[in-house]
Structure 1
Amino acid sequence: MHDRNGLSEPIRWGVIGCGDVLERKSGPSFGQSERSRIQAVVSSDGESAARYAKVHDVSVATDDAEQVMTDPEIDAVYIASPPDTHEEFTVAAAEAGKPVLVEKPMGRSVTEGRGMINACDRAGVELFVAYYRRFHPHVEEIRSLLAEGRIGEPVSASVNYAHPRPNDSGWREMPEISGGGWFVDATSHRVDLLCHLLGAPTEATGVVRCDAGDSHTETAVSLSLAVADGVCCTVTSDFVGAGSTDRFVIRGTAGSIVAETLDSGDFTYEVAGESRSVACNQPETTHGGLLDHVEAVLLDGETNRSTGRDAIQTEAILDKCVRSVYADAIPTTVWDGSFPLTE
């Protein structure tokens, strides 16, 4: 079966990268979908692709990304490899006429993000960035409450996210590969939600701590952002302090929304002194809502709500406020311009 854009249903995906994100997050979502299936997997050494294909009954396993991207039996490409490969593979997939879903962070800089957007624009293909929390039920509910004006006009927001630094961070603390450290990898999700829920950034400043040691990446960050119509936002995050937190708050002229633990799926909103609790079931698979959305865009013609132009707003904040501290370690031009960022 084919849709009106010539894509098969289920969509046949070529996946580049067979690491942790595919195994634990996106892979289970593909496995439960009736409208998508993984047709081919690629890894740089070919071995992890072969292992994944054997366990998950995938037809093709290879170390040749170009072979997969140009294969007429592949409808779309999912890039789950480290960020230093995102621009190269996105451009190649777009030139092969394939829509692209790319993991976050989008790239290592605004410069790379622009290259990805331009390539997909030239080819006339969709570009999705995997900020999957946008499609989690509790975030959709918060978005609806804001759209309905339940807490009045948003005035301020705050994010406090922290967890102990993992003992083995691997490439996530190698800026030349990852484009940053744990803030860029994990807290970027929360920065994206501020932009998604409240609007594009108009101002951004940051203070960054980088501890001595093998890694030159951020260990603690404090950002101040202004978005949309002057909503003031703060984001604090650390990966060296004791304990963990994931608090997300939006305050408005008539009330507030408070998620004491964002990923729990529970939050409260207070209006006129009355507090109401909202509990949303967490999705069975991390990327499930995102993949449902991607399928709806590609097969049903819905509007993309996680575009490259959405994601590049977060890239600009990361470039100006975080990556500028260790820009010499990143082999690409880090943007240090003024907001608002226009594309």
Structure 2
Amino acid sequence: MKKFTGSEVRWGVLGVGNVCELKSAPAMNHIPHSKLVAVMRRDEAKVKDYAARHGIDKWYTSAQDLIHDPVVNAIYIATPPNAHLELTRMAAEAGKPVYVEKPMARNHAECLEMISVCEKHEVPLFVAYYRRALPHFVKIKQLMDEGEIGEIRTVHINLKQVLEPEIIAKLENNWRINPEIAGGGYFFDLASHQLDLLDFFFGKIIHASGFSSNQAQAYPAEDIVVGSFVFENGVLGTGNWCFSTSASAEIDEVIIDGAKGQIRFATFGKGEFTLIKDHEAPINYQVDLPKHIQQPLIQHIVGELLGHDQCPSTGESGARANWVMDQLVKSNV
């Protein structure tokens, strides 16, 4: 990779939608040697409004114009997944590091193209799987690595959500359930976080298979997925995702079973988890989450670009989540 030559990471953001209001972009101004200097959105009124509210001098309605702004030396792609490959290609050709939202792309093949173009132009590629840097998930990994629940046996994901009326009412404006834009439905949007987090905990998934279906027929994408997977270290896993369940069945839980205990947590909840060790009372951990949820990961990115840190979420690791999802939805029933 080419060495990043600047002493400050000056971010340009493509697609300043909801994720950039609190979760990600504002954090760039709270990290030493990092600054958000330019934003882009095709809608001129909306991008001007965002720039004014967040105190940003430069705004664009053209991705190409922002990418080629000489002041900008790193690109954050915060658009829906269908634009990730093309925008990554444009940024890489301009020689600028890329930080791209999750899921990394609509499918694994697009992820591989993104990795290839970044390697060709020798620019780093990072993916916004920010849970790898959140303190309670880092703590969970530490406890497992230290053997607190013994050798890991299995992991089980159970995520079920109600099909809210507003989802159907706003169907045309919800890209997350349009496979042409998102690659799939809420499974691609939410399970990607879970599968990437498990990759962070246990390493690469080497086998995966499953079934998917559109049971409720409320939108074009799958609304239920079940599957199983095997990690390179021998841990076995299962997943059960349903986005058209009853209110009484709603759940967000991951259970990790070891030879000496168990860890339970919600992927999308507060910074909480429970450690249960054999013959001991359960221990409930509570960790405060950062105001800007992506800040810890972005701080790793800035540190890596400036030569004193390493980001745990890369194009290589992000692509693996897409590969697993592709395998799990391959058999549609």
Taking structure 1 as the reference length, what is the TM-score of the superposition? 0.88
Give the match for residue 289 of structure 1: 296
Give the match for residue 324 of structure 2: 317
- Aligned pairs for 1:176-325 (under 5 A) are 176-211=180-215, 213=217, 215-243=219-247, 244-259=250-265, 263-274=269-280, 275-322=282-329, 325=332
* Alpha-carbon shift at residue 255 of structure 1 (Å): 1.6
* Alpha-carbon shift at residue 31 of structure 1 (Å): 4.3
Give the match for residue 14 of structure 1: 12
Q: Alignment partner of 1:163: what SS?
A: strand
> CA 1:85–1:156 in 2, change beyond 3 Å: closer, same or farther?
same
Choose 82-91 or 256-265, whichever is displaced more: 256-265
Give the match for residue 140 of structure 1: 138
Tell me, in whole angstroms, the C-alpha distance in 2 between the residues paired with 1:110 and 1:204: 14
Choose 165-174 or 83-92, whichever is displaced more: 165-174
Tell me, in whole angstroms, the C-alpha distance in 1 between the residues paired with 2:299 and 2:51: 23
* Alpha-carbon shift at residue 117 of structure 1 (Å): 0.5
- Partners of 1:30 and 1:37 within 8 A in 2: yes
* Alpha-carbon shift at residue 262 of structure 1 (Å): 5.4
* Alpha-carbon shift at residue 212 of structure 1 (Å): 5.4
| 1:191 alignment partner AA | L
* Alpha-carbon shift at residue 81 of structure 1 (Å): 0.6
* Alpha-carbon shift at residue 260 of structure 1 (Å): 5.3
* Alpha-carbon shift at residue 307 of structure 1 (Å): 0.6
Q: CA RMSD in A?
A: 1.9
Give the match for residue 26 of structure 2: 28
CA-to-aligned-CA distance 1:47-73 (integer Å, 9 cap, x gap): 321111111111211111111112221
Choose 167-176 or 199-208, whichever is displaced more: 167-176
Q: Alignment partner of 2:310: what SS?
A: coil
* Alpha-carbon shift at residue 5 of structure 1 (Å): 2.9
* Alpha-carbon shift at residue 194 of structure 1 (Å): 1.1
Q: Alignment partner of 1:264: what SS?
A: coil
Matched residues, percent identical? 36
Count residues in correspondence.
322
Give the match for residue 5 of structure 1: 4
* Alpha-carbon shift at residue 211 of structure 1 (Å): 3.1
Taking structure 2 as the reference length, what is the TM-score of the superposition? 0.91
> CA 1:222–1:311 in 2, change beyond 3 Å: closer, same or farther?
same
| 1:192 alignment partner AA | D
User: Structure 2 regions of 5+ residues with no counterpart?
Assistant: none
CA-to-aligned-CA distance 1:127-183 (integer Å, 9 cap, x gap): 110011111111000111122122111110011122223423511111111111101
CA-to-aligned-CA distance 1:27-52 (integer Å, 9 cap, x gap): 33234334322211111233321111
Choose 26-35 or 313-322, whichever is displaced more: 26-35
- Partners of 2:216 and 2:244 within 8 A in 1: no
Give the match for residue 156 of structure 2: 158
Tell me, in whole angstroms, the C-alpha distance in 2 between the residues paired with 1:266 and 1:253: 22
Choose 180-189 or 36-45, whichever is displaced more: 36-45
